[in-house]
Amino acid sequence: MRLGVLDVGSNTVHLLVVDAHPGACPLPAHSHKADLRLAQLLDADGAISADGADLLVSVVREALQAAEDKGVEELLPFATSAVRDARNAEDVLARVREETGVKLQVLTGAEEARLTFLAARRWFGWSAGKLLVIDIGGGSLEVAFGLDEEPDAAVSLPLGAGRLTLARLPGDPPVPDDVRALRRHVRAEIARTVGEFSRLGPPDRVVATSKTFRQLARITGAARSVEGPYVPRELKRQSLEGWVPRLSGMTTAERAGLPGVSEGRAGQLVAGALVAEAAMDLFDVECLEICPWALREGVILRRLDHMGPV
The pLDDT score that the predictor gives to residue 310 is: 44
The pLDDT score that the predictor gives to residue 65 is: 97
Q: What ranges do the domains of the chain cover? A: 2-106, 109-295
Q: For the segment 157-190, what is each residue's pLDDT rounded down to a tens digit? A: 999 999 999 999 999 999 999 999 999 999 999 9
Distances (CA, A) of 204 to 32, 40, 134, 136: 35, 38, 14, 21
CATH number of the 109-295 domain: 3.30.420.150
| In the predicted structure, residue 308 carries a pLDDT above the cut 70 | no
pTM score, whole prediction: 0.95
**What letter would DSSP give residue 147?**
S
**Adjacent-strand bridge partners of 135:** 142, 209
CB 56 within 8 A of CB 16: no
Q: Are the folds of 2-106 and 109-295 the same? A: yes
Q: For the segment 193-248, what is each residue's pLDDT rounded down to a tens digit? A: 999 999 999 999 999 999 999 999 999 999 999 999 999 999 999 999 999 999 99
| Alpha carbon distance 159, 163 (integer Å) | 7
- The fold adopted by the segment(s) 2-106 is Nucleotidyltransferase; domain 5 (3.30.420)
